[in-house]
Amino acid sequence: MNANLYDFKGDLKGKIDLPESLFGGRVNRPVLYDAVRMYLANRRSGTAKTKQRGEVSFSTAKPYRQKGTGRARAGMRSSPIWRGGGVVFGPHLRDYRFSIPRKVKRLALKSALADKGQEENVSVVEGVSADAPRTRPFAEFFKASGLSGKRVLFVADSFDDNVLKSMRNIKGVSFMVSRNMNAYEILHADVLLFTKEALAGLEEVFV
């Protein structure tokens, strides 16, 4: 399995072999489902909250006398059937987080990489450099390489603030360090774009 190799000008230099240990496996859909569900659940804040009748700021005094008014009897203003009263069965603070075994996470990562590799949606770029944040060189690269307009996950070997700031204004492009890759971000992208160093580092970390 191989991928297109580009230079930073967007010119196609040839093909580069992808690590068989990462991109050559079987796509395990149930494992991918568990990994994506865990990722999305762990991102949820769980801060939605409604007040119950005991938390509403009303006096606990009886609104009016029990009999003789012609109205239905009422015990307190915080009753859920009154306007401004407590909410029945509303959301409350909760933690949605859960985890799956580390081996399952790694299997999901390899399955996601294999899926992108089989669909030929993996590319590699060499010679990426940014002495200062400048969007134009990166925008010209994506246009020349035919990746403009796609959701591209740019994977680098290490964090580079100049590269991140240069690409964050380009629609659809996101930045990630290879050791932080996960199945959700891989599947969400249309194309994985590795630097040569990131591709080598990925194999060292996850194999």
Which burial class, exposed, middle or buried, applies to 97 when counting CB atoms under 10 A from its CB (0-12, 13-18, 19+)?
A: exposed
User: Is the Cβ–Cβ distance between 119 and 6 less than 8 Å?
Assistant: no
Of the candidates 186, 174, 129, the residue with the CA atom closest to the CA atom of residue 147? 174
Give the integer Cα–Cα distance in Å for 169 and 149. Answer: 13
pLDDT value for 125 = 93
Ordered domains of the chain (ranges, CATH): 2-28+101-206 (3.40.1370.10), 45-95 (no CATH)
Alpha-carbon separation of residue 192 from 41, 80, 94, 118, 172 (angstroms): 24, 52, 35, 12, 12
Pairwise CA distance, residues 110 & 182, whole Å? 9
Q: List, for residues 67-95, the tens digit of each pLDDT value.
A: 999 999 999 999 999 999 999 999 999 99
pLDDT, residue 55, reads 92
pLDDT computed for residue 206 by the predictor: 72
pLDDT higher than threshold 90 for residue 130: no
pLDDT of 31: 96
Contact present, 182 and 35 (Cβ < 8 Å): yes
pLDDT at 207: 62
pLDDT of residue 15 exceeding 70: yes
The model carries a pTM of 0.83
CB atoms within 10 A of CB 30: 10
pLDDT tens sequence across 38-53: 999 999 999 999 999 9
pLDDT tens column, 27-39: 999 999 999 999 9
Span 135-190, pLDDT tens digits: 999 999 999 999 988 999 999 999 999 999 999 989 999 999 999 999 999 999 99
pLDDT tens for 185-207 read 999 999 999 999 998 888 777 76
The tokens for 203 are 């194999």
